[in-house]
Structure 1
Amino acid sequence: MKLYGITGWKNSGKTGLMERLVTEITGRGLTVSTVKHAHHATEIDHPGRDSYRHRQAGAVEVLVASPLRWALMHELRGAEEPPLADLLAHLSPVDLVLIEGYKTAPHPKVEAHRAATGQPLLANDNPTIRAVASNAAPDTPVPVLPLDDTGAIAEFILAEVGL
């Protein structure tokens, strides 16, 4: 599996870009999975649901299955967050895994950048960032792509990973 990341500061457009890239790349006939990193206690289950009740009761893992999908939730129960490589080992094989977040992980990335956030570019201090997708013309040594040109960003990523 090929890996490529989308990173950037909060409100820089990462999630929207990820969504558009998945649509663009799967539309080209490739298979894509995604990994989303969150810095807060993300809750994907809801109080009152059977699976939530199983977790609250102390289950380490809860697998929910239906005719349409299945999901596995793993409670860390005080253990450290696993490294990205350990998480990737749980994914089924696909052509490309797009990873949102994980700014310092070693895989190559495109930085999503919106001038309005007022945040400095990560690309100038992070050698894993290979391009910046921006709604401005930031000063950086890496290529700058228009943030709203999903096709061009997809082409850049696919060329980088050899797909």
Structure 2
Amino acid sequence: MGVPLLAIVAWSGTGKTTLLQQVIPLLKARGIRTGLIKHTHHRMDIDTPGKDSYLLRKAGADQVIVASDQRWALMCETPDKPLGLTELTARMDHSALDLVLVEGFKDEPVAKIALWRRGVKGEVADLLDGYVIALASDKKLAIDYPLLDINHPLSVADFIENWLRTGQ
């Protein structure tokens, strides 16, 4: 089995990225090595227009690696067949990770912590499926899941660490 996946799912504007920015350092301080896969509905390009790697990719290279002494990135063109979560995860170095956090991909069949805030468009019930293992919210809700405080990243990190330790 590969590295465990845990998705953080919510409606846009709930604060998925903000919570992950707070939880990832807490996990790292506990020795938990995390990878992250972020889904976006927007057109995106991590390359810089005008740079050599951008020009060569636009010239027709289907895969480009940009590398320095500090990091590397692989860019792949997939206009005909976007990769699913399983395929994306397979491209990560599992030996260097204890957990892959996933931002988005709410329809994928992986363990999830759903986030919900008062005032954000969308109903909490529409986020809950058979893969949700907890709900983080700013409101007390009567649900059949562990309820975490979305404004208390330490409790979310504690839950994730326990989930990893107990083997999901």
Q: Aligned to 2:44, which of 36, 42, 57? A: 42
TM-score under structure 2 length normalisation: 0.89
- Compare 5-14 and 45-54 and name the one that shifted more: 45-54
1:87-124 deviations in whole A, cap 9, x for unaligned? 11110121111111010111111112111213201566
Equivalent position to 1:103, from 106, 109, 116? 106
- 1:3-152, aligned counterparts within 5 Å? 3-76=5-78, 78-93=79-94, 94-122=97-125, 125-152=128-155
Mapped to 2, the partners of 1:69 and 1:10 lie a distance apart of 30
Residue identity matched to 1:72: L
Give the match's secondary structure for 2:65: strand
How many residues are matched?
162
Shift of 1:162: 2.3
Contact 1:112/1:132 (8 A) holds in 2: yes
TM-score (norm 1): 0.92
> After superposition, what is the alpha-carbon deviation per residue over 1:7-32, rounded to whole angstroms, capped at 9, x for unaligned?
10000110111111111100111211
Q: Which letter does structure 1 place at the counterpart of 2:122?
A: Q
Counterparts of 1:156 and 1:142 in 2: how far apart (Å)?
12
Distance 1:104 1:158 in 2: 24
Contact 1:8 1:122 in 2 (8 A): no
CA contact (8 A) 2:38 2:102 kept: yes
CA RMSD of aligned residues (A): 1.6
Alpha carbons 1:6, 1:109 under 8 Å: kept: yes
- The answer to whether the Cα contact below 8 Å between 1:37 and 1:101 also exists between their aligned partners in 2 is yes
Segment of structure 1 superposing worse, 57-66 or 106-115 = 106-115
SS at match of 2:157: helix
The 3 A distance-change label for structure 1 pair 102 and 122 is farther
> Percent identity, aligned pairs only?
34
Residue 158 of structure 1 and its aligned partner are, at CA, apart by 2.1
Q: Name whichever of 12-21 and 117-126 sits farther off.
A: 117-126
Structure 2, unaligned runs of 5 or more: none
